[in-house]
């Protein structure tokens, strides 16, 4: 069971519930903005601290490393803490990371600041997802969780372009000051409208990390790494794909990215509804559709209309996949739900690194900018294999659970002559 509602709390009014979910999503908006704005400001950032662009790319990698490390560590150590206070504390750490980024005098301090900014990323989404799920009836939990994730999707549509423009006009540091401002607003909003909720006082670090021994948790994480990694294999190289292969101008790249962002918003909203109806089947379906669309990239890249349509559609299906993965991990993690929900973001950041690396390998091998589409399809197929293993394991678990706890008494022995 996922995040049962608190029995001693009266139901929230519709307005209070909406305000609480918006407050939680606002934190996701801030996190999504800081994660991706660095990519748009990379030349400005490199010039600002006196390094070349390839070296500046390590700033992106170290943020992802902070997410991968921070999600399981914070979730395991902080599971006993009251959840509203924990959310505020995580946002405070996030504010500090972005303020340190804006103040960083050189490359080393900038790397350290981005690592700190990444640490609360996964844990925030894990706690926020559990809180949102506890505020609504069981049949609405998928929609509540997807509403929190919607903040991350909206960041790609509004937050990242706005912060990038701000950084280009007034210096790259202003983008991170702006993100810190949104995070401070999140802290105030969460304190004001999100109901108090206790932590899991019976939990221990050992019991939380014990979720990593569960085969279903590991299989779901594998789906996230390879299945979602397929999307990143293509997304990482969208700019040269649409300019060098499709023949679009550099000025059209923001419109292509907007199509991707809009697809993410639609998929995030749709994912919650599909998960509420049939979580595992929606997870499988999203993985299959994403793989098929990625395989179509080499063909779709021939014309602007078809490539933009495919990018929009695979962003939609991949975002459905993210929401379903989040809910699936919360479902199979047992009592370690916060760790399960947080680990989804560790898996997604590992997927980012894996997809970009494999996509780069086939391009470097001379196979062209369409080749990452085939890499993405292959990774999605690997995710489907992991889902098939999960389904088989689940069937065995249900079969074992159906066996009576006490075996029936043996029949009386028949005489030898009768036998």
Is the distance from CB of 318 to CB of 267 less than 8 angstroms? yes
Most confident of 181-185, 225-229, 246-250: 181-185
**Residue environment code for 333-371, b if the CB has 16+ CB neighbours within 10 A, otherwise e:** bbebbbbbbbbbbbbbbbbbbbbbebbeebbeeeebbbb
Of 327 and 4, which is predicted with more confidence? 327
Of 95 and 242, which is predicted with more confidence? 95
175 and 293, same structural domain? no
* Residue 409, domain member (yes or no): no
Last residue of a domain, one of 201, 234, 266: 201
Distances (CA, A) of 169 to 151, 165, 172, 173: 25, 6, 8, 11
Q: What is residue 78's three-state secondary structure?
A: coil
* Beta carbons within 8 Å of 302's beta carbon, 6+ residues apart: 246
Going by pLDDT thresholds of 50, 70 and 90, the confidence category of residue 418 is very low
Give the predicted TM-score (pTM) of the model: 0.80
Tokens 């996922």, located at residue: 2
* Residue 1, domain member (yes or no): no
191: domain CATH number?
Answer: 1.20.1250.20
CA angle 50/53/56 to nearest 5° reads 70
Percent of the chain with pLDDT over 90: 38
Going by pLDDT thresholds of 50, 70 and 90, the confidence category of residue 1 is very low
Going by pLDDT thresholds of 50, 70 and 90, the confidence category of residue 336 is confident
* Beta carbons within 8 Å of 130's beta carbon, 6+ residues apart: 3, 83, 330, 337, 338, 341
* Residue 38, domain member (yes or no): yes
pLDDT at 124 over 70: yes
Q: Across residues 377-400, what is the average pLDDT?
A: 88
**Residue 363 confidence (pLDDT):** 86
217 and 194, same structural domain? no
* Residue 311, domain member (yes or no): yes
Alpha-carbon span 142 to 145, nearest angstrom:
5
176 and 118, same structural domain? yes
Q: Which of 27-31, 333-337, 341-345 has the lowest mean pLDDT?
A: 333-337
Alpha-carbon span 388 to 379, nearest angstrom:
14
177 and 50, same structural domain? yes
* Residue 418, domain member (yes or no): no
Domain limits at 323?
A: 210-400
Residue 58's Cβ-count burial label (10 Å; 0-12, 13-18, 19+) is: middle
Number of residues written out for the chain: 419
328 and 235, same structural domain? yes
| CA-based nearest residue to 76, from 113, 127, 30, 39 | 127
* Residue 411, domain member (yes or no): no
Q: Which of 205-209, 258-262, 277-281, 363-367 has the lowest mean pLDDT?
A: 205-209
Q: Across residues 282-307, what is the average pLDDT?
A: 93
Q: What is the mean pLDDT of the chain?
A: 85
Task: Find the helix or strand (DSSP H, E) in which 73 lies.
Answer: helix 53-77
Is the distance from CB of 19 to CB of 139 less than 8 angstroms? no
378 and 257, same structural domain? yes
240 and 171, same structural domain? no
Q: In degrees rounded to 5, what are phi and psi of residue 169?
A: -80, -40
252 and 175, same structural domain? no
* Residue 217, domain member (yes or no): yes
**Residue 4 confidence (pLDDT):** 52
Alpha-carbon span 233 to 380, nearest angstrom:
11
Q: What is the rounded radius of gyration, in angstroms, for the C-alpha atoms of the chain?
A: 23
Q: Across residues 52-79, what is the average pLDDT?
A: 84
pLDDT at 89 over 90: yes
Domain count, the chain: 2
Alpha-carbon span 261 to 239, nearest angstrom:
14
pLDDT at 215 over 70: yes
96 and 221, same structural domain? no
* Beta carbons within 8 Å of 129's beta carbon, 6+ residues apart: 3, 145, 148, 149, 326, 330, 341
Is the distance from CB of 355 to CB of 233 less than 8 angstroms? yes
Give DSSP secondary structure letters for 371-389: HHHHHHHHHHHHHHHHHHH
Distances (CA, A) of 2 to 35, 112, 337: 28, 35, 7
* Residue 84, domain member (yes or no): yes
223 and 195, same structural domain? no
248 and 114, same structural domain? no
86 and 214, same structural domain? no
């Amino acid at each position: 069971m996922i995040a049962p509602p608190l029995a001693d709390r009266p139901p929230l009014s519709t307005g209070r519930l909406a305000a609480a979910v918006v407050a939680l999503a606002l934190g996701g908006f801030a996190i999504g903005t800081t994660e991706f704005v660095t990519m748009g400001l990379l030349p400005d950032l490199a010039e600002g601290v006196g390094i070349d662009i390839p070296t500046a790319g390590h700033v992106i990698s170290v943020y992802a490393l902070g997410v991968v490390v921070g999600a399981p560590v914070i979730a395991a150590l902080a599971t006993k803490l009251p959840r509203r206070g924990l959310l505020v504390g995580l946002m405070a750490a996030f504010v500090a990371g972005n303020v340190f980024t804006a103040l960083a005098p050189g490359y080393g301090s900038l790397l350290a600041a981005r690592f700190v900014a990444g640490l609360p990323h996964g844990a925030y989404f894990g706690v926020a997802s559990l809180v949102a799920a506890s505020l609504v009836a069981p049949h609405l939990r998928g929609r509540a969780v997807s509403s929190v994730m919607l903040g991350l999707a909206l960041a790609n549509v509004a937050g990242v372009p706005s912060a990038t423009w701000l950084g280009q006009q007034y210096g790259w540091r202003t983008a991170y000051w702006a993100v810190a401002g949104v995070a401070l607003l999140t802290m105030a909003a969460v304190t004001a409208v999100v109901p108090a909720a206790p932590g899991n006082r019976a939990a221990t670090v050992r019991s939380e990390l014990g979720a990593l021994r569960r085969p279903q948790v590991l299989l779901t994480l594998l789906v996230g790494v390879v299945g979602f990694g397929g999307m990143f294999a293509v997304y990482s190289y969208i700019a040269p794909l649409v300019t060098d292969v499709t023949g679009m101008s550099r000025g059209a790249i923001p419109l292509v990215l907007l199509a991707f962002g809009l697809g993410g918003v639609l998929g995030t909203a749709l994912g919650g509804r599909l998960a509420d109806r049939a979580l595992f089947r929606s997870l499988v379906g999203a993985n299959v559709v994403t793989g098929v669309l990625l395989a179509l990239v080499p063909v779709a890249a021939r014309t602007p209309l078809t490539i933009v349509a495919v990018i929009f559609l695979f962003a939609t299906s991949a975002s459905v996949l993210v929401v379903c993965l989040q809910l699936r991990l919360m479902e199979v993690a047992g009592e370690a739900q916060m760790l399960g929900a947080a680990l989804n973001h560790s898996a997604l950041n590992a997927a980012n690194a894996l997809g970009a690396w494999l996509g780069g390998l086939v391009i470097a091998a001379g196979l062209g900018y369409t080749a990452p589409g085939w890499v993405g399809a292959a990774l999605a197929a690997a995710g489907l294999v992991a889902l098939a293993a999960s389904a088989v394991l689940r069937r065995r678990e249900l079969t074992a659970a159906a066996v009576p706890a006490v075996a029936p008494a043996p029949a009386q022995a028949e005489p030898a002559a009768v036998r």
